[in-house]
Amino acid sequence: MARKRRLEKIGFYHIINRGVANSDVYLNDEDHQKFLEIVQDASIEYSFEICSFCLMSNHYHLLLKTKYENLSSLLQKINSRYSIYFNNKYKRVGPLWQGRFKSWYVYDESYLKALVKYIELNPIKANITKNIGEYKWAMSSKNVEFSMLNFKLVENTDFADYLSHEEQKKVDEIFSGKLDIKDNEIKPKKLKPLEDFFDMSYNRETAIINAIKNGYKQSAIAKYLNLSPVAISKIATIYKQKVQLFDRLRDKGLFWSYGKHMTFEEAGEKLTIEYILKYGDFDDIVSCIKLFGKNKTKANWNERLKSNKQFIKTNLMIARVFWGMDVESDYFKGIKNERFEKLRMLAS
């Protein structure tokens, strides 16, 4: 599936990137300095400035302001150049960064001071230092001088206290909010009422996933459903695993009679389970039962596969191994095709 295109508007962005498997990407002062030198070179080429930064051992934060719609290009340049430097220096191979960088467009400048505070407080939250300005690889230390650095926001931010409740709320809104672009203006996407997701047209899992995709936090959904946040997180995790299983099997050709770009949402659970039972291998069926549940998988088998004479051997294996049925192949030869009978009755 094609990656979603990044927002490329001119303005402020909060950028985070982590080392692969959360491994360290800066091992000494020289590494920190080299990374900032690479960012400085990129700032000259791509015309952006840094308003806050913090380089932790295994990840970095940048608050940058672009002058052109070139965010992806400039970050690709920074990350690739530093990867080459790091891999050469430490005689390692393979990717340095954990996937694509994460970026959040700051659509309202009133959020900037809270964001600066959030970034610069990282070393204190990690118990590395006790006071702002002590960690030399955060911008507030003023340890380095580069033309890309604009200290105005850092100097105008009051670091006397940790993030207040309202400031943390602003940061959370940036991280979790979804944006709409209308008339070339970016605004927060207005969420439809949460109860609209939980009408009779959806099962609960689908409703929860749709609410999350539309920008609702899992804690808000948990409160609405009177469930624990852990329960909502578990549902979201299982759903993600279902999508991953579907994507893997689709790419392997299991859903050969459908489009190669079909998504799990388009296929639906019933079709997914049916095709895994028909064409999947033993491990695929085990995964299917684990993720969708034995009762739902068996109900699908009863409705869609058991009476299909083309799959007698498959049905015999499934019945014996997974359902514990003591049957022979003749058992399936005498079963009427329930789906065909339903269609025949509807047509009569």
Task: List, for residues 288-328, the tens digit of each pLDDT value.
Answer: 999 999 999 999 999 999 988 899 999 999 999 999 999 99
**Are residues 90 and 56 part of one domain?**
yes
Task: List, for residues 37-51, the tens digit of each pLDDT value.
Answer: 999 999 999 999 999
Euclidean distance between CA atoms 31 and 47, whole angstroms = 23
**Are residues 203 and 130 part of one domain?**
no
Tokens of 130: 């006790």
Task: List, for residues 40-94, the tens digit of each pLDDT value.
Answer: 999 999 999 999 999 999 999 999 999 998 999 999 999 999 999 999 999 999 9
Q: Specify if 7 maps to a domain.
A: no
**Are residues 223 and 206 part of one domain?**
yes
Helix H segments across the chain? 29-46, 71-90, 112-120, 122-125, 152-155, 165-176, 204-213, 218-225, 229-251, 264-279, 282-292, 294-304, 312-321, 330-333, 338-347
Tokens of 103: 């970026």
**Are residues 326 and 178 part of one domain?**
no
Euclidean distance between CA atoms 1 and 11, whole angstroms = 29
Task: List, for residues 21-37, the tens digit of each pLDDT value.
Answer: 889 999 999 999 999 99
Q: Specify if 71 maps to a domain.
A: yes
Euclidean distance between CA atoms 117 and 14, whole angstroms = 12
**Are residues 309 and 198 part of one domain?**
no
Q: Specify if 277 maps to a domain.
A: yes
Q: Which residues have C-beta within 8 Å of that of residue 82, sequence separation ≥ 6?
A: 25, 34, 35, 38, 96
Phi-psi region of 11 (alpha: psi -120 to 50; beta: other; left: phi over 0): left
180 membership: H or E segment, kind and range: strand 179-182
- Provide, rounded to the nearest whole percent, the portion of the chain with pLDDT above 70: 88
pLDDT at 2: 41
**Are residues 130 and 265 part of one domain?**
no
Find tokens 């789906």 and name the residue.
339
pLDDT at 62: 97
**Are residues 198 and 267 part of one domain?**
no
Q: Which residues have C-beta within 8 Å of that of residue 182, sequence separation ≥ 6?
A: none
pLDDT at 169: 74
pLDDT of 6 > 80? The answer is no
Task: List, for residues 215-272, the tens digit of each pLDDT value.
Answer: 788 888 998 899 999 999 999 999 999 999 999 999 999 998 888 889 998 999 999 9
Mean pLDDT of 173-193: 62
Q: Specify if 103 maps to a domain.
A: yes
Q: Specify if 159 maps to a domain.
A: yes
**Are residues 299 and 208 part of one domain?**
no
pLDDT of 156 > 70? The answer is yes
**Are residues 274 and 340 part of one domain?**
yes
Count of the separate structural domains present in the chain: 3
pLDDT of 282 > 80? The answer is yes
Euclidean distance between CA atoms 138 and 83, whole angstroms = 21
pLDDT at 133: 92
- Average of per-residue pLDDT values in the chain: 87
Give me the CATH number covering residue 101. Answer: 3.30.70.1290
Q: Specify if 262 maps to a domain.
A: yes
**Are residues 201 and 81 part of one domain?**
no
Least reliable range by pLDDT among 192-196, 205-209, 251-255: 192-196
Q: Specify if 125 maps to a domain.
A: yes
Q: What is the DSSP string of 184-228?
A: TEEEEPPPPPGGGGGSTTS-HHHHHHHHHHTT--HHHHHHHHT--
Q: Specify if 3 maps to a domain.
A: no
Find tokens 């939250």 and name the residue.
125
Q: Domain range holding 137?
A: 12-188
**Are residues 254 and 304 part of one domain?**
yes
pLDDT at 188: 58
pLDDT at 1: 38
**Are residues 153 and 214 part of one domain?**
no
Mean pLDDT of 184-211: 75
* Prediction pTM value: 0.57
